[in-house]
């Protein structure tokens, strides 16, 4: 498959890179419904909602091709392994088909790589055949060596994506980190960028750096700008 790039990507393809983020703590039921309706209107890849909102999102998006995703161990990754597995099973039961889990950041920084690998693997097993698993490293707290090793652990554990950030740390996706993550895993593992992608130019930049999914809240503004800027690439 030809890699996506900013020079040839179409509006439809670009929309399908976006996981529309509905994770801020202040969102009420009407906000979540409106966000899901926006996601369906723009035909993005998925919405990423809080666990409490999975059933609501699944109902609103029934009959569309927009997937329902949620978060596990969010936002700090400090839940026990058993809690993360329970969260994964409950989310799937409620209708989620994509799971964005946060690693145990403290364990990663302590060099407890076997634990981090096992934790990811246990969530992958809970989701097997039912949901994609995207693993959030939270790069803001890791060294370059830890980002590379964390990406490798994600692949060793059998997850589908390695992701930069939660959106709740001091910094988010950087181009250097995305390139490092891409270089650290095989093509079997995809890359998701999140936190700080608020403009069309930043969205296209992370696509060129290897991301095939992007967590974003400025979905409508970015896709509308793309349509206006590239009217020959709407298909």
CA proximity to 63, closest of 37, 98, 35, 90: 37
Task: Considering the candidates 16, 134, 190, 192, report the single residue annotated as catalytic.
Answer: 192
Say how many C-beta atoms besides its own lie within 10 A of residue 54's C-beta.
Answer: 23
Using an 8 Å Cβ cutoff, are 77 and 102 in contact?
yes
Q: Where are the beta strands (DSSP E) in the chain?
A: 18-22, 46-49, 67-72, 98-102, 132-136, 161-163, 190-194, 213-216
Question: 16, 67, 134, 163: which one is catalytic?
Answer: 163
Q: Which helix (H) or strand (E) holds 34?
A: helix 29-42
Residue among 19, 53, 67, 100 flagged as catalytic: 100
Tally helices (H) and strands (E) across the chain: 10, 8
Q: Is residue 94 annotated as a catalytic residue, yes or no?
A: no
Q: Is 100 a catalytic residue?
A: yes
Contact indicator for 206, 173 with CB cutoff of 8 Å? yes
DSSP string, 204-226: HHHHHTT-SEEEES-HHHHHHHH
**Separation between Cα atoms, residue 228 and residue 223, nearest integer Å:** 9
CB 137 within 8 A of CB 171: no
User: Where do runs of H (alpha helix) occur along 43-102?
Assistant: 54-61, 81-94
Catalytic positions are: 100, 163, 192
């Amino acid at each position: 498959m030809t890699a996506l790039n900013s020079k040839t990507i179409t509006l439809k393809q670009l929309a399908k890179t976006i996981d529309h983020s509905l994770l801020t703590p202040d969102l009420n039921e009407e906000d979540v419904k409106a966000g899901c309706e926006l996601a369906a209107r723009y035909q993005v890849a998925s919405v990423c909602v809080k666990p409490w909102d999975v059933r609501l999102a699944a109902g609103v998006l029934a009959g569309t091709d927009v997937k329902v995703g949620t978060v596990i161990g969010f936002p700090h990754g400090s839940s026990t392994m058993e809690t993360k597995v329970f969260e994964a099973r409950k989310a799937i039961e409620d209708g989620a088909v994509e799971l964005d889990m946060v690693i145990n950041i403290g364990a990663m920084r302590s060099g407890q790589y076997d634990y981090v690998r096992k934790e990811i693997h246990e969530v992958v097993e809970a989701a097997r055949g039912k949901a994609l698993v995207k693993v959030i490293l939270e790069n803001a707290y890791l060294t370059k060596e830890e980002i590379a090793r964390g990406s490798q652990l994600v692949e060793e554990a059998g997850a589908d994506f390695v992701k930069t950030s939660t959106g709740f740390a001091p910094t988010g996706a950087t181009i250097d980190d995305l390139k490092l993550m891409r270089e650290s895993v095989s093509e079997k593992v995809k890359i998701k960028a999140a936190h700080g992608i608020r403009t069309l130019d930043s969205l296209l930049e992370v696509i060129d750096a290897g991301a095939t999914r992007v967590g974003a809240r400025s979905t409508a503004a970015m896709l509308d700008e793309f349509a206006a800027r590239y009217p020959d690439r709407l298909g």
